Amino acid sequence: MTIRTLSARRSILTAWLIAGSLDIVTACLFFRVRTGKDPLRVLHFVASGVFDKTALTGGALYAVYGLLLHYLIAFLFTVFFFWIYPKLRWFSYNKWLTAVVYGSFVWAVMNLLIVPLSHTPKSPIQPGQAIIAVLILICMIGLPLSIIIGKYYAGRRTEGNHKAVSD
């Protein structure tokens, strides 16, 4: 195992935990402020994607399942970002633009593909709520991934340049 491999793993792990945590905490806080209801209902809703309506009225175990499912999804989006980053060179030019594109991509995949295919209760997309959700994903998923994984790949480019100079 090389230092680069460990650094890649550490970058993925760090980006995943930060982005996943920021996203779920923000979703729970936003839900609480908007509805005044228990923010754990967000985790129950996530769990309902797998467990159907049972999760919505279930106990703490379904909240744990929702949290685990949330982090699994965040991990998959993080690994995909790590994989796609070097293939889209323009990602390295502007962290904010990358965050906007990737946060919007995450919203589209979740709301136009994953949620409709899951067992979660269905409701029409409301433009105002969708804009807020996209902004949350841009700031809480797109930006941390762009910064952390961008830093990893910038370090690889710098490392490669030093090697070429010393050869």
Q: In this structure, is residue 88 part of a structural domain?
A: yes
Give dist(CA 101, CA 142) in Å, integer. Answer: 8
Are 44 and 62 within 8 A, CB to CB? yes
Q: In this structure, is residue 140 part of a structural domain?
A: yes
Q: In this structure, is residue 34 part of a structural domain?
A: yes
Q: Which domain holds residue 37?
A: 3-160
Give how many domains the chain has, as a whole number: 1
Confidence of residue 161 (pLDDT cuts 50, 70, 90): low
Q: In this structure, is residue 167 part of a structural domain?
A: no
Is-above-0.75 flag for pTM?
yes
Q: In this structure, is residue 63 part of a structural domain?
A: yes
Q: In this structure, is residue 166 part of a structural domain?
A: no
Are 102 and 140 within 8 A, CB to CB? no
Q: What is the pLDDT of residue 79?
A: 98
Q: In this structure, is residue 165 part of a structural domain?
A: no
Q: In this structure, is residue 72 part of a structural domain?
A: yes
Q: What is the pLDDT of residue 5?
A: 59
